[in-house]
């Protein structure tokens, strides 16, 4: 075990020495990887924030059930009880037509505008707030309401949420495709760089083989080098994303305030940033492995 650790320590020390010797080339490669990884990273940050916003919006989604006129009080209470018994239902609020007309009157500048109406045109209504507005959760409540004779009309206001969900799914697919294409580009850049390193140290590799060095011992520093390139590029990408989000945070907040929204642009360092670091390090290692395979 100690010998195995010593071999890895020697490989890392050799990588550090080579990177210091060619520090400008190392910095250039890491910058190229970092900028390349920043582009899909921005897409994922945007989608991550939209996902958070959609969760907040879903909390306000309701099913509006307008009741038939002159509904018996016992039937009304039974309907409310049946709805509250459903696990998908969070809250059931009954609004009589008298209260509804008062709320409507308060929205007009001229308070007596509806006073000349011969009778109240608004129906009694139930407003059902759901625990989750996913289609699978909405459907059981919708089916129950559609079967009840007490319901005159049913309005489900989660259509726009389903559209937002579909847009998020489409956005994620586009981001994955975009990230995959840029990932291939990063693999090409790192692979060519590692291959050039192999060619540069070809004489040293031949000497190592002559003195009995194993194939794994020779390949190990180059695999670490690919991982270090990926790690450096990932750190630069995370730093760039943090700076970009920080600069956009205030304008986005001002725009949200104009629409009476509490939305805030955030960068989840451990979620998005951690995923980016793991991805770039993995890409670096894969690129180095491909370069060494081609050499062999």
Domain housing 102: 62-157
Does 235 share its domain with 89? Answer: no
- How many beta carbons lie within 10 A of that of residue 111, not counting itself? 10
107-116 pLDDT, tens digit per residue, is 655 555 555 5
Does 27 share its domain with 88? Answer: no
Does 187 share its domain with 286? Answer: yes
Compare 19 and 280 and report the one with higher pLDDT.
280
Last residue of a domain, one of 136, 157, 178: 157
Residues 201, 42: Cα–Cα separation, whole Å: 38
Last residue of a domain, one of 130, 157, 184: 157
- Among 40-44, 50-54, 96-100, 215-219, the range with the most confident prediction by mean pLDDT is 40-44
Does 67 share its domain with 82? Answer: yes
Does 282 share its domain with 170? Answer: yes
Residue 44 in contact with residue 244, Cβ under 8 Å? no
Does 212 share its domain with 148? Answer: no
Q: What is the pLDDT of residue 295?
A: 47
Q: What is the pLDDT of residue 239?
A: 93
Does 262 share its domain with 196? Answer: yes
CA 125 vs CA 91, 95, 105, 139, 224: distances in Å = 14, 5, 17, 20, 67
Does 279 share its domain with 210? Answer: yes
Last residue of a domain, one of 157, 187, 222: 157
> Does the pLDDT value for residue 4 go beyond 90?
no
Q: How far apart are the first and last CA of the chain?
A: 28
Q: What is the mean pLDDT of residues 194-211?
A: 74
Does 170 share its domain with 281? Answer: yes
Q: What is the pLDDT of residue 123?
A: 79
Residues 213, 173: Cα–Cα separation, whole Å: 46
Compare 121 and 59 and report the one with higher pLDDT.
121
pTM of structure = 0.66
Does 125 share its domain with 222? Answer: no
DSSP string covering the chain: -HHHHHHHHHHHHHHHHHHHHTHHHHHHHHHHHHHHHHHHHHHHHHHHHHHHHHHHHHTT-EEEEEEPTT--HHHHHHHHHHHHTSTTEEEEEEE-HHHHHHHHHHTSSSTTTTTT-SS--PPPEEEEEES--SHHHHHHHHHHHHH-TTEEEEEE--HHHHHHHHHHHHHHHHHHHHHHHHHHHHHHHHHHHHHHHHHHTHHHHHHHHHTT--HHHHHHHHHHHHHHHHHHHHHHHHHHHHHHHHHHHHHHHHHHHHTT--------IIIIIHHHHHHHHHHHHHHHHHHHHHH-
Please report which confidence band the pLDDT of residue 117 belongs to, taking 50, 70 and 90 as the band edges: low
Does 68 share its domain with 116? Answer: yes
Tally of domains in the chain? 2
Q: Which tokens sit at 187? A: 């693999």
Does 111 share its domain with 201? Answer: no
CA 109 vs CA 97, 106, 119, 294: distances in Å = 21, 8, 21, 78
């Amino acid at each position: 075990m100690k010998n195995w650790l010593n071999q890895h320590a020697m490989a890392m020390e050799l990588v550090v020495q080579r990177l210091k010797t060619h520090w400008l080339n190392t910095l250039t490669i890491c910058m190229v990887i970092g900028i390349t990884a920043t582009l899909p990273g921005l897409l994922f940050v945007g989608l991550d924030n939209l996902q958070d916003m959609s969760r907040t919006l879903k909390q306000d989604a309701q099913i509006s059930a307008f009741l038939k006129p002159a509904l018996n009080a016992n039937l009304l209470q039974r309907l409310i009880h049946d709805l509250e018994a459903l696990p998908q239902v969070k809250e059931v609020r009954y609004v009589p037509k008298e209260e509804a007309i008062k709320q409507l009157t308060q929205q007009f500048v001229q308070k007596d505008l509806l006073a000349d109406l011969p009778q109240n045109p608004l129906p009694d209504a139930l407003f059902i707030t759901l625990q989750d507005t996913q289609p699978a959760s909405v459907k059981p409540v919708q089916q129950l309401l559609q079967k009840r004779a007490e319901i005159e009309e049913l309005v489900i206001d989660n259509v726009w949420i389903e559209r937002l969900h579909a847009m998020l799914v489409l956005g994620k697919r586009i981001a994955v495709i975009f990230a995959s294409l840029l990932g291939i580009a990063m693999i090409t850049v790192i692979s060519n760089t590692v291959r050039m390193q192999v060619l540069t140290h070809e004489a040293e590799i031949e000497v190592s083989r002559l003195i009995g060095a194993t194939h794994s011992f020779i390949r190990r520093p180059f695999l670490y080098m690919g991982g270090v390139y990926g790690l450096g590029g990932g750190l630069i990408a995370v730093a760039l994303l943090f700076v970009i989000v920080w600069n956009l945070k205030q304008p986005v907040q001002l725009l949200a305030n104009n629409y009476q929204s509490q939305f805030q642009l955030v960068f989840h360092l451990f979620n998005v940033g951690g995923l980016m670091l793991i991805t770039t390090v993995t890409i670096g290692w894969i690129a180095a492995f491909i370069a060494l395979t081609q050499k062999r």
